Structures are given as C-alpha cells and as structure tokens.
Amino acid sequence: MCAKSYRKNIADRDREELMNLLLSRADRRVSRRAQRKIMVWKFTVKSAYFCKRLFDILGSMLILLVLSPVFIITALLVKLDSPGPIIYRQTRVGRDGRHFNFYKFRSMYVDADRRKAAMMAENESADGVIFKMKRDPRITRVGRFIRKFSIDELPQIFNVLTGDMSLVGPRPPLPSEVDLYTLDDRKRLNVTPGITGLWQVSGRSDIPFKRQVQLDKEYIKSQSVWTDLVIMLKTIPAVFTGRGAY
C-alpha cells in the first residue's frame, strides 16, 4: 500500500510539473504575442506622428513661401492702423496640458483685454464659455478685415514649425476654458492642437462652445493624413466666404 501510494504521489507530482511547464510555455507564447502587438502599435503611432509632422513642416513652409507678401502687407497695415505691437501673444494650452505662446496678427486695440471685463454682459456666445460679439468695438478697422478672412491666424504657422501646433487639429484652448472641461472633454488635450479643424470648416464662431469641443473629439477619433487633407481643402472656401468669422 505504501509503495502504491508513493507511486501515486510521484505521478501526481509529475502531472503537476508537466502542467506547470505547459502553462509556462503558453504564458511565454502569450507574452511574445502581446509584445509583438505592442511593438506594432508603437510603430503605427510613431509612423502616423512622423507623417503628420512631415505634412505640417512641408505645408507650413509652402504657405510661408506663397503668402509671404500677405504677411508683409498685413504687418504694415496693423502697425499703421493703431498703436501697439504687430503680433499678439496669448497663453494657450497644448498637447498634454502644456502651455505655450500662441501668435496672431493683432486685430484689437491694446486695451482690449482690460475692456473685456466691462463687456461680459454683451457676450453673444451661445453658452457663454467663450466671448464673442459680431460688432465688437475693441476690434480695429484692419482687424475686422483680417479676422473675417482668417489672415490674423497666419502667424500660427510659426507655432506649427516649432511643434506647438499642427496645421489641422483641435483649437488650442485658453487655460480658463480648460478649467471648465469635463474629464471627457480633456481628451481634446491628447493631441497637438491645430490652426484649422472640423468646427472651423463647419461654421466657426456660429457653433456653440460645447459643439466645438464635440467636433474636436470627433476629429481625434478619425484623424489621418487623408482627413487632414480634406479639412485643409474645406478650409479654403470657409476662409473666403468668411461665414461665422467675427
């Protein structure tokens, strides 16, 4: 009986060791498959980022080359129209919540930010998160024209070249706007912000803030080089019609 029990214990131990060996091999196979999937995913993400960055650099350089006369003329008109700097700098929130200097041709009088506090009751934005007025008295004569045709946005090409922005992507929000974001809205900060995007070609300032955020999140889910090209092409008629720009 002892010998029989001993042989049974040996057999049980052998089966246990065999099972452990098989499970170990299975775990290694699963681990290798998981590692391969992670490597493929990382390669895909890095390739997509490289293609988008290359698209941004080449596109920005082309825009600078073609529109350099517009840059020079606009700078002169802004300087002659009202006292103050040619370029307006503002702190915006970029990818992963990083703050950066955001550039535009100045389209308002130099005391615009100070006057804004006294004008909040006249805000025409649908949900009151951002400040918009169709006849904002703080906007200069030249400023009204360059805002209508988005010429004031051109200096952001330099933000693209430095990597703070992309040609296409969610608009970089103000820190005060980010403070009002829900946890889901913060997905907007997972990607590099852009000069143009879905809501800019869909009505611009006529679109309520919450809908702007929703469109930006839709872009994040479907972004690709092809999507960027389509949005860039749609930006051209949106700029020339000036719909929703004020």
- Segment 17-51, tens digit of pLDDT: 656 665 666 666 656 666 676 676 666 667 778 88
Do you know the residue count of the chain?
A: 246
Rounded CA separation 97/95 (Å): 5
- Over residues 50-80, the pLDDT tens digits come to 888 999 999 999 999 999 999 999 999 999 9
Cα distances (Å, whole numbers) of residue 44 to 31, 38, 198, 227: 20, 10, 24, 17
pLDDT band at residue 166 under the 50/70/90 scheme: very high
What type of residue sits at position 173?
P
How many CB atoms neighbour CB 193 within 10 A? 25
Residue bearing the bigger pLDDT, 99 or 44: 99
Question: pLDDT category, 125, cuts 50, 70, 90?
Answer: low
Is a pLDDT exceeding 50 seen at residue 193?
A: yes
* Residue 39 CB coordination number (10 Å): 10
pLDDT on residue 8? 47
The angle at the Cα of 237, spanning 233 to 242, to the nearest 5 degrees, equals 135
* Per-residue tokens: 127: 């949900």
Residue type, 243: R
Q: pLDDT band for position 6 (50/70/90)? A: very low
Q: Which two tokens stand for residue 123?
A: 């805000």
pLDDT of residue 17: 64
Count of other CB atoms within 10 angstroms of residue 164: 21
pTM: 0.76
Least reliable range by pLDDT among 57-61, 72-76, 165-169, 216-220: 216-220
pLDDT more than 70, % of the chain: 72
Please state, for a pLDDT cut of 90, what percent of the chain lies above it: 35
Distance separating alpha carbons of residues 117 and 41, to the nearest angstrom: 48
